[in-house]
Structures are given as C-alpha cells and as structure tokens.
Amino acid sequence: MKQKEQQFKAKAYRFMIGRIFQLILALVFLLFIGRFLYLGISTNVAGENLTQRTNQLYRRNEVIKARRGTIYDRNGITLAEDSNSYTIYAILDKSAIDYHDKPLYVVNKKQTANELAKVLPLSSQKILTYLTPKHNAYQVEFGSGGSNLSLAQKKEIESFKLPGIKFVQAPTRLYPNGSLASHIIGIAQPETVKGTQDLIGTMGLEAYFNRQLSGKNGYREAFVDAEHYQLPNGLHKNKSAVDGDDLYLTLDFQMQNYLESLMDNVQEKYQPVGMTAVVEDMKTGKVLAASQRPTFNPQTKQGLNSSWRNTLVQDAYEPGSVFKILTLAATIQSGNYNPNAYYRSGTLKVDGSTIHDWNDVGWGSIPFSQAFPRSSNVGMSTLEQKMGAQVWKSYLNKFGIGKKTGVTLPGEVSGSLSFKSGIDQAVTSFGQGVDVTAMQMIQAFSSLANKGQMIKPQFVEKIKNADGKVIQKYHVKKAGSPVYSAQTAETILKSMKDVINKDYGTGIAYKMPGVDIGVKTGTAQIASPKGGYLTGANNYIFSVVGVYPDSSPRYSIYITMKQPQKMTAPAETILASIFKPMMNRIILLSATNNIVASQKVDVPLVVSKNVSDAETTTSADNMALVKIGNGKKVVKQSLPKGQQVASGTKLFVLTNGKLTYPDMTGWTGSDVQNFANLVNIKIKISGQGRVVKQSAKKGTFITAGSTLTVNLKE
C-alpha cells in the first residue's frame, strides 16, 4: 500500500513538473510571438530605427563624380584638364591570403620584377630592390617610377595577373605644359569634402573660377537583396552629375611658351630675385602671355613652396621711371606742358630735400621735350610742381593708382600712395613713394592705344558649359572715363619714340631697325627695411615698357626685373634679351591687328602600341614622335590623348627598354622641359634659341633625379 502511495506521488510530481515546463514553453512562445508582433508593428527597437537599419544593410549609395572643367588657351590648346592617376604598390606579407587560401602577396619576386619592368620606367633590378626591403614590410611602393601611372599602364600591368600587385587611384589635375603660365592657370588639388575626394582650386584661375570649374556631383542609390543582387529598377534613384564649365583664356600658347623660354634663359644666366613679364592686346585688354620668376611646375609641384605668390597681382612695388608716362600724360592734358620751355636739370630742392637726376649732374639747361626721353627726375618733378599737388592727385585717381583692377585672379592688392608732403608729391612724378602692381601698370598703359581710355586687363575670353554652349563671353571693359585726349596720346607716343631714336634717349638698347615701336625704361630704387633705399649697382627694379606699332599702338610688352644677382651685363641688355625677341614674335604673328591662330592637332593615344605603329599614327596627326629607350613598345607618353596642341609638336614616349639620352640638337627649350618631365630629371638651360650642346652624350643611361645641362643658341 505504501509503495502504491509513493508511486502515485511520483506520478503526480512528474505531472506537475511537465505542466510547469508546458507553461514555461507557452510563455516563451508567447514572448517570441509578442516580440515578432512588436517588431512588425514598431519602427524603433532599443532606440534604433529598424527602417533605417534595413536601408543601411540593403541600400548601396555611389557618388557620380562631376568632371572638372578644362582650361584652354585662346586657340583651344589644353592647359589644364581632369585625369586619374594610379600608384602601384606590392604586398609582401605572406599573411595576405583570401578565403580560398589563395596568396594575395608577391609570390615570385624575380618574375614580378621582370614583368613590371616592361611597363614601368624602372629596370627589373631596381624593382627587385624595392621588392626586397632591408626590413620587414607589409607592402612597398616603387618611388616616382611607380606613381602617376596612366590607365593604359594600369591595365597592361593587370593583364600580367601578378599576385600581390595593387593600385591606388586618385583624381588628379593634369597640367601637360609644366610651368607654362603656372601662376595664371593656378593649381587644383584633391581635398576631401563631405566624405568625397574632389579637386579644389587653390591658386590662380583654378581658385578664382573654382565654382564654375567644379560642377556638381551626382549620385546613384540602389537596393540589393541578401545575395547583393540589385533589385528591380523601380527601387533605385539616380541623379546625374553636372560637369564643370570650360574656361577659354586669352593666353596664346605659342607666345606664352616663347616668353617662358626667354625668361628661363635670363633667370639661369643672371639670377634675378624676381621677374614679371606681360604681353597685352591694349585695344581689348586681353593678356596674350604673362609669367613671373621664380615659378613652379603644377604637375610635379617643384618650386611651389618658394613661389606660391602671384607677383603680378599680389606684390606691390615702386615702378620707377616707367611711371613718367602717367606724369607726362597728366601734365599735357592739364595744360602745363610746354615742350620748348627750358629748365635746369641736375638737382631740385623741395621741402629741404634734394631731388637728383639719375646721373647726379644732369645735362645743364634743357627743354622739357628732353625730360622724358632722358628720364630726368628733376624735369618730371618740375612738371609736377607746375600742375600742383591736387591736379596731379586727381590724375593719379583717374589712372586707378591705389585701386584694384578687378582682374580675375585671387589675392589682388590695391597698392599705396604716399602724398602728404611736398617731397612725397614730387617723387611720385618719377615712380617713387607709390606702390603699384603689374596689372595696374598694364591697365594704365592700355590708355595709349585707346585715346586716353584705359581698358581692364583680362585673362578669360569665354566660358562654355559641358555641352559646348557659350554661357559667358567676356567683352572689352573700360576702366573709368578717358584720362586724356587723342592729341595727348600722340605727344606721349612721340616722346616714347624719342627714347630709342634720339642719341640722348635711355632706351637705345631696345631699338629695332625698321620696327615702329615706342619705349620707356625704368630703374626704381628698393626701400630698405632699415629706412631709406638699398645701395649697390644691382639693388634696383629695372623695367621697360614698349608698344607696337607706335604710330597706332595695339600691343604692349611690360617687363620688370628685381635685383639680378649675377649682373654681368647692363640691365638694358638683359631686359632686351627678352623684349626684342618677344616683340619680333608679336610682329611675326600679328596680321590685320590680330594674332594668327595656331593650327591645332589632337594628341593620339599611342601607349601599348608598337613604336613603328606609334610613329605612323603621330605622323598622320602632324606630330613628331621622339622615342626614349630601346624597347619596341610604348609604355608612357608625354601628352594625354585628345589634348589639342600646335601642329608639329613633339610627342615624347617611353618604351619598355633601357632609357638613354637622345641627341637633342635643334630642340627648343620647351622640348627639353617636356622631355625632362617625362623621364624625371632636372635641367639647366643657358642661352636662347635651339639646343646646340648637351652635357649628357647620346646613348648615356638616364638616371632619375639627375641634372642635364643644355646650351641654346639662336
């Protein structure tokens, strides 16, 4: 009986335990059901939005990059354009494997080096050195030889299917002409904005017109399933990118290129602290060529740290005697100029201070008609006193002295004018005590071609959108009202002729027989930080301005040179080595008062072609192919596909063989520069014209980073 009672209790206990488990399971089930219902109804769990979380898991966003606008010269030759560059690197760490244990590191270093040497401008031994570092490294790069690779080079390397070889892509701005007009064009560099890397203009026109050039990025939004396949079209969104606008400049590529080579020669030979040069169509204000020294290469960034300022608009200086053009104009127009009246040259007392002529003793008693061509400080100061300070000040205002020109370059300064005392007022008549910019002077000089009316200088001719439609056209823009009359202009121009044609003129060094030009020279003292002015034969800003044709001016050249460190020739001789060839180029290229447009050709793509096929292609496109190396296949070219260049331009190509120096006889300075950029060497150029001598003989192996010296001769 007792046993049955125990069995009953055990059965009841098991039944109770079973019921408890059933109840627990029911509660758990109800809990899960409740949770699922909650998840199905509610949009937030634990403070997290489920809809947003789902979108994050299954939505894919992609930025559609806008193309940055291209910058062209006046004839459509490319000066700056968008590009992508690639940097190659190699993974060496053997821990880099995929899910199938497939190696993602370099397996056979020697084979990899041999294959890469077919494309990269590096020997297989040099590549093998990179692949065998002295210390353990997860990955390595290949120096300058492995950077800035083109898409064609990347694809060719990828075709080798080399394990461990990877690439990094970056948006870049291509400046195919090196330092040509670099401070005008400026520079655009990659910057990360809102998580996206875009090119942003930081200097020059690239910065001033950054909004127009940038365009607007688009986006692509799509939803995928669990297997990452895109769902039907109705479940994705697209917004197309709007490409940036294109700038067409007033610069003429051929004239700019020639000016750069002339300035390079002077910089190399005489080493001035600074130089500027501007060639302008005074009738329209269009700047045809402009540059400065020191300069920089926007492609390689060489020289950028020491020459980032655009001295044409950002540096103000005392202009010296070229300013006497303004003084003469004001004196004539105000009725205070009598060319036949005499004055005593040499010295002049003003407010207890003495003004000296540049030769200290003067030329005795001479007529005012000789004051300008002799560049007499005393003569100009006397004329300023005849006008009176207030009249002179009113003309300085009319000429825009102390005011920005409004040129489309960032950072323009307004200059300054010291005009408190009588001596301050007097010395401004010959360009002291007044700070100007090169653009202010160019604007003032433009009045010579427009009957006293100044024209604003401009660097941009038109802007086109991505569809090729002109959306903005820059027209001739007057600067203020006419400062003087046509009759006054005639008198000034006659005096500018006397500067080079009279035996007492200061500009005889600029005389060009049979050429109708007018000139004014300048020699400005440089203020000392300790007060007063610097002394010494080279501590000046030397300058010259010339107009052509003098009988009816259309074009002007204005050059300044600051403190030549190797002054082995007179300042006039140095400046004439730029002025006279440049003036000859203007005369040769001018026809019916317009610079003749250069014939243009499109650069073909010859990368990956056999050299023989590349020669055939470039010949058909009126270009001259210059082969670098002894290989049979082209791996890199100096100019990008589609760029418009002048007919006959040299296209330098690297081959997959050993790189040696070619015979450069007959090359221009720009040819040498393009070659140097391609093979990554430095150059030193002396003389002007074409190459007659080079320091490295034909057939010598090229070493990256080495220096080549070439001598040019007309």
Side chain identity at residue 499, one-letter code? V
Side chain identity at residue 705, one-letter code? G
CA distance 68 to 243: 6
State the pairing for strand pair 71-72/246-249.
Answer: parallel
Measured in Å, how far apart are the chain's first and last C-alpha atoms?
135
CA distance 567 to 5: 128
**DSSP per residue over 85-134, as a string?**
EEEEEEE--TT-B-TT--B-S-S-HHHHHHHHTTTSSS-HHHHHHHHS-S
CA distance 356 to 524: 13
Burial 518-556 (b: 16+ CB within 10 A, else e): bbbbbbbbbeeeeeeeeeeebebbbbbbbbbbbeebbbb
**DSSP per residue over 270-292, as a string?**
H-EEEEEEEEEETTTTEEEEEEE
DSSP state of 507: T
Cα 340 from chain centre: 50
From the candidates 321, 369, 429, 447, give the one annotated as an active-site residue.
Answer: 321
At 200 the three-state DSSP class reads strand
Tracing tokens 């997860």 back to the chain, one arrives at 138
Handedness of CA 448, 451, 454, 455 (dihedral sign): negative
Q: Are 655 and 633 in contact (CB under 8 A)?
A: yes
Radius of gyration of the chain (CA): 36
CA–CA–CA angle 195, 196, 198 (5° rounding): 140
**Which distant-in-sequence residues (6+ apart) come within 8 Å of 202 by Cβ?**
186, 187, 188, 189
State the pairing for strand pair 218-223/59-64.
Answer: antiparallel
Handedness of CA 108, 109, 114, 119 (dihedral sign): positive
Cα 24 from chain centre: 78
Handedness of CA 360, 366, 371, 377 (dihedral sign): positive
Other Cβ atoms closer than 10 A to 579: 25
Phi, psi of 248 (to 5 degrees): -110, 115
Phi, psi of 33 (to 5 degrees): -60, -45
**Of 176, 215, 184, 179, nearest in space to 199 by CA:** 215
CA distance 619 to 638: 16
The reply to whether 321 belongs to the active site is yes
CA distance 524 to 539: 9
Q: Could you list the active site residues?
A: 321
